[in-house]
Each structure stands twice: as structure tokens, then as C-alpha cells.
Structure 1
Amino acid sequence: MSMSALEYAQKARTLCVLPDVYLRLKEMMEDDRASLSAIADVLALDPGLSATLLKIANSALFNFPREIDSIAKAISILGMTEVHNLVNTYGATAAFAHVDSDAIDLDRFWEISVDCALICKYLAEKKHIPGGKGLFVSGLLHNLGELVVLQSDAGKVRYCQQYDKNETPWQRQQDVLGFTYADCSAELLALWQLPESLIAPIRDFHRAYGEERSPAASLLYVASRLALLNSHPGMYAKKHFVGLHILKDLGISMAELDEAVNFCNLEGLSILRALKLKKPQQ
């Protein structure tokens, strides 16, 4: 009997547990009475989380001219929304960082996810996309459903990996599972009670080609396909694959797509290492 996207997500939630510090911080950041200093103190209790936040805060994602050398300073400069987004990023990736399987190439999985996140971040800021503030997180986690399904059905995931130029990964997922990995991602993130603003683009972006969706969902549509193209050069024709009418609606040129890819190629490895998704070369 086939499982639904929600059933896969419910099963994965029991196997891939969010870090305790993430759950505590989530409560504090959603509490208007929590002080910035109290949040900084909790962040500082977890060296791994603190180091991750500082590395990302000092990366080209934010391009701050001087070093951010403390959590308190990061909160002050970046603002609570961005720090909250980074904590959500840390929590979700940490829950799956130690997945081990020969069914998929995990390095490639995370590389495509980070590329998508960086493309979203770059274009959302350049084009002032409404609702683009959390698109880095949405881009990073949009395909988390692949790791969710992997926990229960490695064979189906392995089959879905065998796409070629005549079909997209999403067509295979829909044919085999009855839903896409993005649908499963959205279900798990909802179970984890992440903000709806981060989940909505993931839930909607596959429909952006044929239906009117939010600018954030439309940008995620473009970024997810551009990240796949970057991983498989020449497999698909870029102009048609990313949706020309969506680019027109968002005011994005082909040259700006190239700029976004160059940005993710330059910064991807540092983000992968900051999130401990790729080990340094020995």
C-alpha cells in the first residue's frame, strides 16, 4: 500500500530528531518577551551552532564589511528574522546531516540544495522579490523530502534518481510516489512547526509554471531548476527549462541567471562546510 507524503514525513520525524538547542531557541524566538541577550546566551551554549552562525554571518550571504565576532553582534546586525532563519537552517540540516545511504549521492544532494538556496538569496535581493527574506532556507530545504522518503523506501529513491534528459526528476517522483519530494518536504517542515512563510514557496513552486503563484514560489521554481542544471550541465535546455514567462514576470534576465550561478559556484563550498554538510578534503 502506498504511503502519502504526510505519512512519510511522520515516520521520518521519529527517526531524524531536531537538536534540543534548536527546540529551545525556537520557543524563545517566537516569544516576544524573550530578550536578545537571553537568546544570545542560549546560542552560545552550543559551540557547533554558534560557530555555524558566525561562519554564515561572515560569508558573502550578508557581505558585512567588518567581522561579526559574537552572537550578540550577529543578532544586532543581522536582525532577529535572519538569525531565526539561520537557526531553522541549522536545525533542519543537523537532523539529516548524518544520513548514510548508497541509494543516492549525498554530496550531490546537498550541493544542489545549497546551490538552490544561494541562487534564491542572490536573485531575491537583486530583484527585491516580495516574500524573499526566507528564501535561502526554503531553497535549502525544498528537496528534503528525498531524504525523508529515503528513510523508508530506498528503492523508490534510487529509481527516482535515474532520470535523464527526456524527463525531469519531479516527473519520476510523481509517477512513482504520487507526489514530489517538495510535497514531502513541506509536510515535514509543517510537523516541525517552521514558519509558514518558509513552507509556502516549497508547497507551491512546482505549480508556478502553469498557475499564478507568489513571487517567492516562482523564484524557487527558477532556482530549483537552475541548481539542477548547474549539477548536470547540458542535460536540459536552460531557456525552456527555467520557464521564460516566469523570468519575464520576475524581471530576471538570462545574464542575471548566469550571475546567480557564478555566485553559488563561488560560495557554495563555504556554506556546505559551515553547515557541516561536506567534510574538508583530507
Structure 2
Amino acid sequence: MNMTLFPDVVVNGETIPSAAVAAEAQNHTAPKDKPGIAWRKAAQALTIRALLLQEAQARGLDPDPEELAPGRVETEDEALIRALLDEAVNIAPVTDDAVHCEWAKNPERYRSAPLWDVSHILCACDPRDDEERTAAEARAAALLARLHGDAKDFAAAARESDCGSKASAGHLGQLGPNDTVPEFEAALRTLPEGGMTPAPVLSRHGWHIIRLNAIAPGQVLPYDTVRPKIAQALEKAAWARASREFVETLAKSAQITGASLAPI
């Protein structure tokens, strides 16, 4: 990215160098042919950070870093921003009526996790090795061409799998969400009961041919079971709205050049 095309960001007289924006841009997604989007997202994020830190300092807040996880402690800036938002952002408690109203919009949304009865054939490879990946894909495609979708054919072909499940005809048993790698689960979710992936699926382990033997859909959960989860979601959404409004208030009275807080 050519930094000369993008100016420094200045927030109430505080300069955020273009080099800092360029470094932050690595944390933001954008189409490959539109690097300016990542730049604008980065400039916006650093502008908001500067506004919050300036307000925290103006209020005389002191940082008190907290441990976020084992070995991960807040920076002083993170602690200052947290302290500011704790002080400045207030939301009304979520009422029982609000929770029940949200649930009543569509109780079917709140279900237990489904269970999938799954079999697969693995042609193992290191996906980072081009030659190995190509050879394994060709092998998987050849195996797939021999199958007709029925369980008997699948079980026979599974004897050639590189997974230990080949001893049980490729059967992996019952799986739930997050029990497999994301690529495998994403493909699994597209299959009808008794269906098989039309092409091999690549994961970190290699190429998979996946068969969904059966599915047990999740059951609709009782209101009392899901009420705490709904209340937490409503509270989180309200806090996010209030935080955005607080930042917008700071921005309205600020002098900002080189960045915009308009939605990207």
C-alpha cells in the first residue's frame, strides 16, 4: 500500500502517523483490489481509540489493568478505555417483557444443537504442500467416482481411507457443532440426510469425502431455558448501541482530519 496516497490522521491536534494506520490496516479485511477500504477502517478504529483515550485523560481516569486470560493482561490504554466506558455508558436493565417479546418473535430460533451421524473417507496430505495436495485430491476424486451414494459402496471404499475410522467403514459416530474442523462442518451442514459431498472437501488434514447418514434436528428449547441467553444478548446489543452513541457524541465536538466515522 502506498502510504503517500493517504494522509496522517489528526484528532483534536493529536497526529496519528500514516505508518500507524498502515500497521493497523493489517487487522482489517477488504477486497484485494480495494486496499483503501482496509485503510479507512484502520483510520476509523484509531480515531475512535484516540477520542476515547483523550476523554479518559480529560476525566482524570487512572488505568488499572486487569488480567484477561492467563498470561494476557490489559495494556494501560485498554484499561483506560474500559474504565471510561464503564463510567460513561449506562443502559437500562433488560426487562422480562423485553426478553419475552424477543423470544415470542420466533421461538423456533432457540433449539438444542443438532446431531449428525457421519461417515467419511480421508485422503491425507499437508495442504501447504502443492504436490502432495494435488496428488491427494486426485486420489479422492478417483474414490468419489466409484461411489453411487449408498452406504454399502461407501463402506467398501472407506477401507482405503487414511483415517482410523476405516476399521468401522468410515463411521465417525454422532457429531455436533464444533466437533470437527470448520471446513468439514461447513460441508456437512449443506448435506441432506443420506447425502454425500459432490466433490472432495479440503481441511487441514487432507481431502474428505463426507456422507451424512442421518440427522437428529435440535429440539425447541423451553422459554425458561433460553431466557438468560436472550437477556444477555439484549443487554450486549443495548451496550453496543450506547457505546456507539457515546463515540458519536465525542466525534461531534472533535476536530478530525484524515478519517471519517461514517459507516464503511
> Counting strand residues as a fraction of each chain, which structure ranks higher?
2
Greater gyration radius:
2
TM-score for the superposition, normalised by structure 1: 0.20
Higher relative contact order (CA 8 A, sep 6+): 2
TM-score for the superposition, normalised by structure 2: 0.21
> Counting helix residues as a fraction of each chain, which structure ranks higher?
1
